[in-house]
Amino acid sequence: MTHVLSSLRRACGDRIGRLRCSGRQDQGMTTSEYAVGTIAACAFAAVLYKVVTSGAVLSALQSLIKDALDAKF
């Protein structure tokens, strides 16, 4: 059984090594991924800001804070 597992690991390792060394270059991908992620985070923050500062949410938050401060213990 261990012989089968070791040969399977060796075969998979050879395939992974060939895929890594196939001449494919991914230079610059991390920079573009960071840029897209930053733009997405900024867009999400803008949408969240608009939602939180809307009239309905603002009045609900004020009501929640008022009820919490007026609570009787």
- Please write the tens of the pLDDT for every residue from 2-51: 676 677 677 666 665 555 555 556 666 688 889 999 999 999 999 999 99
Q: Are 51 and 57 in contact (CB under 8 A)?
A: yes
> Which pLDDT value is given to residue 73?
76
Distance in angstroms (rounded) separating the CA atoms of residues 41 and 48: 10
Q: Indicate whether 52 pLDDT > 60.
A: yes
> Which pLDDT value is given to residue 32?
85
Distances, alpha carbon 49 to alpha carbons 41, 54, 56, in Å: 12, 8, 13
> Which pLDDT value is given to residue 27?
63
- Global pTM value: 0.46
Distance in angstroms (rounded) separating the CA atoms of residues 60 and 66: 10
> Which pLDDT value is given to residue 10?
73
